[in-house]
A and B are shown apart, each in its own frame.
Chain A
């Protein structure tokens, strides 16, 4: 009996020691090692090229701020959202800075997850808040509020092959309408020469197909939700727009639309197999890259095609934000200020090359002579479009949210994804547009009801 008891005690003791050491390990991972006045900032970011450039330049910041070191954690977009959301929701305080997309800034700000950087930014004259693109400002907070600062931004425009248009005797207007674009696309679509009239994203996903498709919906007078959050997916404007979008792809678009997202269209267009491409302004850098693109120098850029509105470009930005749970608020702001300052943009240009400058965040970027020269083909029009986009009412009807090619409610990425899958069925001829939109209406209405 006694031996049995001691053995039981021994087992309990082992278990206790094991769990205690596990707890200690957890604490070690979570707590910051500092204490000597030195601050270590942890930055969680998406793994885009511009962010990698930021990491390669961080030593410049650390040289100027010897008491601060910055650790970068690069993640895929979905993983980043998951990691930061969990950390903030559980008050973990693991991340001092995070990159947040335009779609999520209003949602996270409303959840109370982000620090309002407005007071600090406004009192710093050198930072020059008014230099940030004015069209992006309403996404980042009301009035003087600033829940995130843009690191780079983009809109959408129409890219076209000047050589093909000239050969066909077509002149592209500066502000084309969708009807004109459809006509040109059909004219230039030539399967025998492996030449597609226009490349439009057809890959399912709210951020793939429904980025360009929603801008078409906006300019056709449709919208996802009306002012009272009633879904309008089977409404006249939305239906007409999606009929136009899917018909255009079927008659003059890429052959395998479900495969085609941003990357695939970039590939098709830069290999010279498409006459037009409607997509992000940030694509221009790759299209004009003489090493990887066969069409560099042959491409013209005009405003996003319209129907009922004056402009139809989208608006997107990747922003830096400081979670409220960060214990190093001041140091975090110091870094955010550095990475989004005018000086940083010059540093990128001088050290890494002017074509790698993060675009669309500051107006002053477009006044730098070196950048104007390096990006002469697309920089002026990018600036014009980004200044004219109105994220508070991109379409013909008023809306409850701020955002162009998305609805900034948590449910939207799910709704957009499911509806785009139904559109894939339409593209493949597996279902009719009307029945697909009717099913989509029900999906969207459920999300709309959650906002009421």
Chain B
């Protein structure tokens, strides 16, 4: 907002014809443009109203539902429940484990895919024969639909009888591992890491390619080795890109549902918040309880996002003031 008001008068000044710039005329022109701006805002009103209806009304309805005792299969017993559903959320014993599961799965996958993505981006940043082809191949996992990716991993990779991972372990004389039963967390993190590494790689590759070659050349002339250049110059340069990749990756991965539903069914600490919500709404058919989980999740997300974004912007502006 502050930005627009700062820019607008300048633009208006440009528009007013220079020869007849008496104070009175300027005032008149100013009030005319103010009126125009007001009218412009009114023209925006329908769009604004529609977007409020689309985004806020469902949320209000969700809040209303969260105070209802409502099982889809018992429509006759529908009643006002007060804060019962919220009591269930906090004392039912599912919410905290689901939050921990979400943090472990999303945190682990973001970290792993960031590291792997950085490695692949560094490799892709140099010239070699077949570079474009390699890049296309590396991006592919990100283009596969999440449900299809989960199915590929379930059957082709991790199946106890015919899976490729267990086949490879068999070559080393290691007995087949029951991934979904014994290591559900590892399974989900592996699938997510596989899917999102290309995304991280793309963002970081853009960062690497925006680095000026001359400066790097100058550094190596000054006697800096490859590792020194990477840690002292490339990584600081990539800072904004790393933050951006982390924020976007977290936002996308926090909605993880498909691999959990297809592979582990929420067992062994893989019941993330989104899967818990699905279970309450579509298996439990408890509309009120599911709505309460949703409301609490939204509130927590707003708090976390506000804190995260604030620190991210701080990072970015610090970076800006330094350069």
Contacts and interface: CB of A to CB of B under 8 A. Distances in A.
Given A85-B72, A410-B74, A424 B283 contact: no
Nearest to A8: B42
Contacts of A391: none
Interface stretch (A152-160, A218-226, A249-257, A293-301): A249-257
A107 interface: yes
B42 A424 contact: no
B180 A259 contact: yes
A52 interface: no
B181 A258 contact: yes
Contact of B74 (A86, A111, A203): A111
Interface residues of A, number: 41
B282 interface: yes
A175 interface: no
Interface in A167-219: 191, 194, 202-205
A444 B87 CA distance: 19
A15 interface: yes
A428 B181 contact: yes
A15 B49 contact: yes
A124 interface: no
B268 A417 contact: no
Contacts of A108: 73
Contacts of B58: none
Interface residues of B, number: 37
A262 to B, nearest CB: 14
B262 to A, nearest CB: 9
B96 to A, nearest CB: 15
B263 interface: yes
Contact of B279 (A11, A14, A417): A417
Contact of A414 (B45, B264, B265, B283): B283
A40 interface: no
Nearest to A414: B284
Interface string B35-71: 0000100100110010000000000000000000001
B259 interface: no
A425 interface: yes
B76 to A, nearest CB: 7
A78 interface: yes
Interface in B152-210: 154, 158-161, 175-176, 178-182, 184
A413 interface: yes
> How would you classify the secondary structure of chain A's contact residues: helix, strand, loop or mixed?
helix
B225 interface: no
A89 to B, nearest CB: 4
Contacts of A205: 265
A425 to B, nearest CB: 7
Interface in A263-321: 268, 273
B268 A268 contact: no
B283 A417 contact: yes
A430 interface: yes
Contacts of B161: 194, 255, 268, 273
A433 interface: no
Q: Which of A15, A257, A258, A424 has the most CB of B within 10 A?
A: A258
Given A14-B46, A414-B283, A85 B178 contact: no
Given A82-B282, A414-B283, A256 B265 contact: no
A447 to B, nearest CB: 10
Given A428-B182, A428-B267, A259 B159 contact: yes
Nearest to A18: B46
A421 interface: yes
Contacts of B294: none
Nearest to A196: B161
Interface string A85-116: 11001000000000000001001100100000
A157 B273 CA distance: 38
B73 A85 contact: yes
B181 A410 contact: no
Contacts of B265: 203-205, 258, 421, 424
Contact of A424 (B46, B76, B154, B267): B267
B295 interface: no
A256 B180 contact: yes
B219 interface: no
Contacts of B286: 414
A410 B184 CA distance: 29
A9 interface: no
A216 to B, nearest CB: 19
Contacts of A82: 72, 282
A7 interface: yes
A427 interface: yes
B87 to A, nearest CB: 14
A78 B284 CA distance: 11
A18 B46 CA distance: 10
Contacts of A7: 39, 42
Contacts of A268: 161
A82 B268 CA distance: 28
B181 A111 contact: no
Contacts of B271: 421
Contacts of A203: 265
Q: Interface centre among B71, B161, B268, by most A CB within 10 Å? A: B161
B73 A204 contact: no
A197 to B, nearest CB: 14
Given A78-B282, A413-B283, A414-B283, A421 B160 contact: no
A258 B73 contact: no
Interface in A408-452: 410-411, 413-414, 417, 421, 424-425, 427-430
A7 B265 CA distance: 56
B271 to A, nearest CB: 8
Contact of B266 (A15, A104, A111, A204): A204
Given A259-B178, A410-B72, 20 more contacts: A7-B39, A7-B42, A11-B45, A81-B72, A85-B73, A86-B72, A203-B265, A204-B265, A204-B267, A256-B178, A256-B179, A258-B268, A410-B285, A414-B284, A414-B285, A417-B283, A421-B266, A424-B265, A424-B267, A425-B267
Of all A-B residue pairs in the complex, the 4 with the closest CB atoms, nearest first, are: A410-B73, A255-B160, A256-B178, A256-B160
6 contacts: A85-B73, A258-B178, A258-B268, A413-B284, A414-B285, A414-B286
Interface of A: 7, 11, 14-15, 18, 78, 81-82, 85-86, 89, 104, 107-108, 111, 191, 194, 202-205, 254-259, 268, 273, 410-411, 413-414, 417, 421, 424-425, 427-430
